[in-house]
Chains A and B, each alone.
Chain A
Amino acid sequence: NAGVTQTPKFQVLKTGQSMTLQCAQDMNHEYMSWYRQDPGMGLRLIHYSVGAGITDQGEVPNGYNVSRSTTEDFPLRLLSAAPSQTSVYFCASSTDSNTQYFGPGTRLTVL
């Protein structure tokens, strides 16, 4: 079991560029979420999904899109990167009990 995997580990973008952060889990979890963590802060929810084909917005969804075509994958798309999106991004999957299993994170810098 690889658990939750995220790629890439590090990424530098220029303002206005777009990119997709990949997230995959092999635990057959229905629920998946994307969070961002800014320095010295807790995690803030961007988008979440309760199953294939079902997504919803979290606390800070602006500038991000998600889709869930399979149970395993939950990619996060940055449409037009801005310096305010410089952060560490974590993907998580969970069971019904809502105990979340986190990926190692993607550290994104937007210049």
Chain B
Amino acid sequence: SQQGEEDPQALSIQEGENATMNCSYKTSINNLQWYRQNSGRGLVHLILIRSNEREKHSGRLRVTLDTSKKSSSLLITASRAADTASYFCATDGEDTGRRALTFGSGTRLQVQP
């Protein structure tokens, strides 16, 4: 079963708008990560937030983490057409001794130029 579940499953916005994606997970974590996947390509790491952090920024990305609700959000500000991709959250699960990641089902983001 998927540790992380994301919503929405798909999101379509106009260039310049902000995009927010949410992720929920089930077990305790050391960290939560967000990855991006362009169509037909491998995943690329975007940002990692540790369980003792509440918010983290990287360029146009802002990630929040609420461990009490077991949820995280990824905000992409001032979106561009090049941001069109699928975005996945991933957690270091207890089931793998925190040595591999469990991925959510992803949010497909379409940014219209």
Contact = CB atoms under 8 A, between A and B. Distances in A.
Q: How large is the interface on B (under 10, 10 to 19, 20 to 34, 35 or more residues)?
A: 20 to 34
Q: How large is the interface on A (under 10, 10 to 19, 20 to 34, 35 or more residues)?
A: 20 to 34
Contacts of B105: 40-42
Contact of B101 (A40, A45, A56, A104): A45
B43 A100 contact: yes
Contacts of A99: 33, 45, 48
B48 A105 contact: no
A74 interface: no
Contacts of A43: 43, 88, 101, 103
Contacts of A41: 105-106
Interface string B16-51: 000000000000001101010000111111001000
Interface stretch (B57-65, B75-83, B92-100): B92-100
Contact of A31 (B31, B100, B102): B100
A75 interface: no
B10 to A, nearest CB: 10
B103 A104 contact: no
Residue from B40, B48, B100 with most neighbouring chain A CB atoms (10 Å):
B100
B99 to A, nearest CB: 5
Contacts of B2: 42
B99 A31 contact: yes
A33 B100 contact: yes
Nearest to A41: B105
Nearest to A103: B42
Interface in A30-49: 31, 33, 35, 40-45, 48
A76 to B, nearest CB: 14
B41 A101 contact: no
Given A42-B2, A99-B33, A105 B41 contact: yes
Interface of B: 1-2, 4, 30-31, 33, 35, 40-45, 48, 88, 90, 92, 95-96, 98-106
